Structure 1
C-alpha cells in the first residue's frame, strides 16, 4: 500500500507507518522514506487509521489503541475475516469503520480491492477509502455480508492462479519443454487471456468456445479437466476459504 501510494504521486510527508519490530520500522523508513512513529503518535497525527495486522493480533492492538482513537477518525481494516463490528466494540461510539480486502497484485498496481461500509461509515468515508486504494488497481464497493466471499475469491485468488501456473509449467516440462520456456509460455498466455477477458467484455464461455475446435486438441484437454472434476474442486476450494474466513471472525469474538 505504501509503495503504491508513492508511485501514484502521494507526497511522502502524507504517509506515516508503524511497526511492531524496530528492524521492520527501519526497513520501511529506508525503503520508502516515510516517518515511522509509535502507534500512539501516529494515531494522534493521522487522518485515517489503517489496520494491517494478522487477524489474531487485531484484538490486542485494538484493546491498546481503540479507546484512544479520536472521535470521527476513519478506521480502515485490512484484516481478513474480521467484520467492522469487531472493531466497533473497541472504538468510541459512532467511529466510522470501513472494511477492505485487497490482494497482493497491489505490488504491481493491479490489485482487486473490495470496500464495505461499517454501521457509521458514510459515502464520504467510502470515497476516501477508494482514494487510498484506487492507485493500487481496481476498487469495488460491496455489502459487508459479501466480504468473506470476496476474501475467498480475490483475496486468496492470486494463490490459485500461481498454483495453476506451477502445475501447467510442470506439464510443459513433462511434454519436453525447458522449464523457462514453459514458464514464459504460460505466464504470457495468462496475461493475454486476462486482458482479453477484461477488454472484450465477452463471457468466458464464449471466449473458451472460440479456442475449442471440434475434435481438436483443446476439447480433448477440457474433457480431462471435467473427468478429474476440476470445476467441482474449485467450488469446494473457494467454499473452504470462505468458511475459514468465517471461522477467523468467530474465533476473534
Structure 2
C-alpha cells in the first residue's frame, strides 16, 4: 500500500512538516515517506522517526509535498510525477503554480504555499492558493497538511510573493530586532543573559497582546506611550532613523526577490 504522503526534501521545513504531521496524528510513520538526497539528513530522519520510509529517490504516494530549493524544484517535481504522483503541495519560494504545472502531466494538481520557519515548533504562519486544476477538496487537503505546523490562510496567488516578503521572511526581521535589543541592553549595562531574557519576554508578551486583544499595533503602542516619557523618547529616535521605512523597504525587497525566483 502506498504512503499517504511523500515529502520531497528532508531539510528544515520538510522535516518540520513530517514531525508536525506525526505529532498531530495526521499520519503514522508508515503512512509517510521522505525523499532526501543527503545521506546524513536521511539518517537523522530515520533515527528521529522509526518506521518512516526515507529514500534517496521518489517513491509512489497518494500526494506529495515539494520542499526543495527553487533551482532543483522542477527536476524534483518531474521525478515525483514519474512515479505516479498527481497532486503536489509546493512550499518552494517564488515558484508559481503555472510553472509547476508545466513540469507535470495535464490535469495534475498543484497547490502553492509559503510557510515560515516557526513551523519547526508548530507555530508557523502559512498562506496558500490552488493551481488551475485544484478543487475545494484539494485545498482542504493542503490546509490539513499545513495546519499540522501552524496557522493557514487562503489567498489569491498574486499575493503569495508579498506573503513571502512579509511572513515568509518575517521571522528573520524579528530576530534582527531581538538581536539589536539584546545589544542595546548590554550597551546600557545589563548582562547578556538578563538582556536576552528581557527581550524574549517582551517580544512574547507583546505578540500575545496583539493576538489576544485584537487591537491594532498603533493602538497598543499609543497605550504605552506617555507624552514626554521614556517610551516617547525611544520611539522618536526610531522614527528619526526611519526604522518604519526600513521595514517597509525590506518587505518590498524580499517580495521582489520572490518574483525573480519565479521567473
TM-score bracket, shorter-length normalisation:
over 0.9
Q: By how many angstroms is 1:64 displaced?
A: 3.7
Is 1:17 matched with 2:34? yes
Return the TM-score normalized by structure 1: 0.93
Q: 1:48-197 residue pairs with structure 2 within 5 A? A: 48-70=63-85, 73-197=86-210
SS of 1:115's equivalent in the other structure is: strand
Q: Give the TM-score taking structure 2 as reference length.
A: 0.90
In structure 2, the CA distance between the partners of 1:65 and 1:129, relative to structure 1 (3 Å rule), is closer
Deviation at 1:15, TM superposition (A): 1.2
**Alignment correspondent of 2:44:** 27
RMSD: 1.3
Report deviation, 1:169.
0.3
In the alignment, the residues of structure 2 paired with residue 4 and residue 227 of structure 1 have an alpha-carbon distance, to the nearest angstrom, of: 43
Query: In structure 2, the residue corresponding to 1:194 is in which secondary structure?
Result: helix
Distance in 1 (alpha carbons) for counterparts of 2:255 and 2:244: 17
Contact 1:103 1:112 in 2 (8 A): yes
Distance of 1:2 and 1:81 partners within structure 2: 22
Select the structure that is richer in helix.
Answer: 1
Runs of 4+ in structure 1 deviating by more than 6 angstroms, as ranges, are none
Question: Shift of the alpha carbon at 1:14?
Answer: 1.6
Aligned to 2:21: 5
Displacement after TM superposition at 1:39 (Å)? 3.0
Q: Is the 8 A contact 1:67 1:90 kept in 2?
A: no
Q: Within 2, Cα distance between the matches of 1:107 and 1:63?
A: 27
1:35 CA drift (Å)? 1.0
Whether the aligned pair in 2 keeps the contact of 1:84 and 1:98 (CA below 8 Å) is: yes
Q: What are the superposed Cα offsets for residues 132-167 of structure 1, whole Å, 9 maximum, x if unpaired?
A: 111211110011110000000001110000000000
Q: Which runs of 5+ in 1 are unaligned?
A: none
Shift of 1:49: 1.1
Give the number of equivalent residue pairs.
245
